[in-house]
């Protein structure tokens, strides 16, 4: 496919790569960036910043270049990468103590948001369902539904008892937060979106193929970042339990495997 909004997307992507690089370098290599946050939040932020810098930025740039040349797979990966950055920087904007990079956090969120809107609009104007031939839609659907339900249970297990007992969830009180921004973005946006994608790809709807593809890319990057967060906690002596990193690594590999299975069924455009 060709981006209909190529020129504005090129500007947004270059600016996004620049802003993401700056905040990632700051968070990963300059401890003063998170000096107002707890040691745990600072370690997790540094872990994610490393993934953003060495995986997110290159992936964003490479997939944009390939997608602009008509590569369908790259277009879907590019959109999924934008979704991951947008998700992450909602948390940075609302979950990290105010620091000298606050405006860059806002800029990164804004750039990723509007680039995502434009790319999704371009994808919706394509007959995306015709890109795929005999795709494993039911397998993808079940996997997405399973992952969404697991995280629903994980978050509701913390939130519901706190509501019934009129208390504050541990994830909120331990970090002196008003609410946990991860709870909000997952329960409001990410998990419902993944479930909707699960249903729609089962029914072989065009938007279902789009959402499912983006969701798999998003989960690859997010679980990789989560694993890096856990390993950074261990490296800094804040936690001794690194087994959860293995769980996230397994989820990342599983998502990669299903993404490969799905993308193997994408047809090459005629004339390319």
Contact 201, 141 (CB under 8 A): yes
DSSP 8-state assignment for residue 167: -
Going by pLDDT thresholds of 50, 70 and 90, the confidence category of residue 127 is: confident
Taking residues 127-147, what's their average pLDDT? 93
For residue 182, the number of C-alpha atoms closer than 13 Å in the C-beta half-sphere is: 16
As given in the structure block, the two tokens for residue 262 are 């799905």
pLDDT of residue 198: 97
pLDDT digits over 236-256, tens only?
Answer: 999 877 788 888 999 999 999
- Alpha helices by DSSP H, listed for the chain, are 6-29, 39-51, 57-68, 72-95, 102-124, 137-164, 170-173, 181-185, 191-202, 206-235, 243-263
On average, the pLDDT of the chain sits at 93
pLDDT of residue 270: 57
For the full predicted model, state whether its pTM sits above 0.75: yes
pLDDT digits over 173-218, tens only?
Answer: 877 788 999 999 999 999 999 999 999 999 999 999 999 999 999 9
Taking residues 128-152, what's their average pLDDT? 93
Whether residue 147 is predicted with pLDDT greater than 90 in this model: the reply is: yes
How many Å apart are CA 114 and CA 213, to the nearest integer?
19
Going by pLDDT thresholds of 50, 70 and 90, the confidence category of residue 220 is: very high
Going by pLDDT thresholds of 50, 70 and 90, the confidence category of residue 20 is: very high
How many Å apart are CA 169 and CA 40, to the nearest integer?
17
How many Å apart are CA 130 and CA 173, to the nearest integer?
49
Inter-CA distances, 262 with 3, 121, 138, 189, 208, Å: 22, 22, 11, 23, 12
Whether residue 271 is predicted with pLDDT greater than 70 in this model: the reply is: no
Going by pLDDT thresholds of 50, 70 and 90, the confidence category of residue 28 is: very high
Contact 209, 148 (CB under 8 A): no
In the numeric block, the tokens 């290159």 are attached to: 58
pLDDT of residue 2: 74
pLDDT of residue 93: 96
As given in the structure block, the two tokens for residue 151 are 């995280």
């Amino acid at each position: 496919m060709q981006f209909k909004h190529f020129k504005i997307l090129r500007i947004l992507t270059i600016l996004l790569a620049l802003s993401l690089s700056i905040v990632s370098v700051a968070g990963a290599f300059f401890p003063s960036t998170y000096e107002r946050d707890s040691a745990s939040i600072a370690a997790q932020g540094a872990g994610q910043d490393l993934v953003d810098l060495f995986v997110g930025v290159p992936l964003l740039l490479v997939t944009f270049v390939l997608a602009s040349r008509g590569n369908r797979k790259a277009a879907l990966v590019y959109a999924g990468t934008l979704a991951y950055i947008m998700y992450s920087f909602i948390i940075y904007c609302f979950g990290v103590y105010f620091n000298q990079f606050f405006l860059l956090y806002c800029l990164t969120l804004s750039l990723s948001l509007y680039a995502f809107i434009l790319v999704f609009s371009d994808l919706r104007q394509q007959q995306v369902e015709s890109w795929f031939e005999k795709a494993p839609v039911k397998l993808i659907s079940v996997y997405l539904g399973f992952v969404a339900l697991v995280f629903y249970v994980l978050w509701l297990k913390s939130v519901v008892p706190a509501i019934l007992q009129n208390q504050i969830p541990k994830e909120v009180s331990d970090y002196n937060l008003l609410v946990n921004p991860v709870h909000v973005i997952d329960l409001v946006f990410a998990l419902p979106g993944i479930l909707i994608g699960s249903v729609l790809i089962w029914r072989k709807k065009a938007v279902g193929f789009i959402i499912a593809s983006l969701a798999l890319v998003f989960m690859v990057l997010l679980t990789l970042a989560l694993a890096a967060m856990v390993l950074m906690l261990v490296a800094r002596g804040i936690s001794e339990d690194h087994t959860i990193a293995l769980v996230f690594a397994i989820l990342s590999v599983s998502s990669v495997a299903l993404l490969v299975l799905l993308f193997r069924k994408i047809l090459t455009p005629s004339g390319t």
